Amino acid sequence: MSPDDPTPAAEQDPPAATRILEAACELIAAEGIEEVRIARVAQRAGASTSLVHHYFSTREDLLEQALVHSFEQAGDERFGDGDGAGGGDAARGGSALDALAAAIRESLPYPGRQEREWVLWVELWIRAVREPG
């Protein structure tokens, strides 16, 4: 919250780097990793290419950080980020069967963000095999 903007910081737009990473993740999942270009990521994020290069020195750096971002987001959504908001059923006092059912649910690419994550990760894994090192 700032003096000029009474909206709490948590409700304001995400930081530029986060918007850029989200845009990169969306493009990778929608069009494939080979189609991702800095200019298209910038356009989708509502940023300039200069701003993208400010945060990510190369396309490879952007793609790597997009994968890290996706993994962190998935982990936070599924297991919490240390604030007690997430966690599996067993961690909340459920049975082992509840925990197994939750793990299976999380392993399926349901439509929406989870499906996007699956496509993103598969794209990046395939690229890692085709272009090792």
Number of domains in the chain: 1
CB distance 24 to 66 below 8 Å: yes
Q: How many CA atoms lie within 13 A of 36 on its CB side?
A: 28
Band (133; pLDDT cuts 50, 70, 90): low
Cα(40)–Cα(31) distance, integer angstroms: 11
pLDDT at 40 over 90: yes
**pLDDT tens digits for range 64-89:** 999 899 888 877 666 665 444 444 44
Average pLDDT over residues 39-55: 97
> In the block, which residue shows the tokens 């509840």?
98
Report if residue 15 sits inside a domain: yes
The CATH code of the domain that includes 89 is 1.10.357.10
DSSP state of 92: T
For 17-41, letters b (16+ CB in 10 Å) and e give bebbbbbbbbbbbeeebeebebeeb
Report if residue 92 sits inside a domain: yes
Report if residue 2 sits inside a domain: no
Domain that holds residue 73: 9-130
R_g over Cα of the chain:
17
